[in-house]
Amino acid sequence: ESPMKDQTPPEMRDKVMHTRLISGDLVLMGSDAPPGRYEESKGTTLALAVDTAAEAERVFHALAEKGTVTMPIAETFWAVRFGMLTDQFGTPWMVNCEKPMG
């Protein structure tokens, strides 16, 4: 429920006004675009690196909710956890928690 509900057009009242995803020192903020301003992402994938396997799992599953998993999150030769998905808004993501080097 927005404190600006009375100033918000009816078609935007069920949309996200402000959200943020926090992972360590990273803060990623966003909001839904008003009608006529949204363009689906083309040719870009967002890559998110996190510090722990648990954080990778949490972030991956949150982004995958109502989306499509293209590579389930799992251990790889370079990562404790790595997975790929497209979120419910059509944005492709890679979530990565690298193995220690050495």
Domain boundaries, the chain: 1-39, 40-102
Token pair listed for 29: 């903020």
- Nearest-angstrom CA–CA distance, 17 and 9: 12
- Interval 14-47: pLDDT, tens: 777 788 988 788 888 888 888 777 777 788 999 9
Alpha helices in 1-102 (DSSP H): 53-64
Q: In CATH, what class is 40-102? A: alpha beta
Decide if pLDDT at 1 tops 70.
no
**Quick one: pLDDT at residue 98?**
97
Residue 54, CB half-sphere, CA atoms under 13 Å: how many?
A: 1
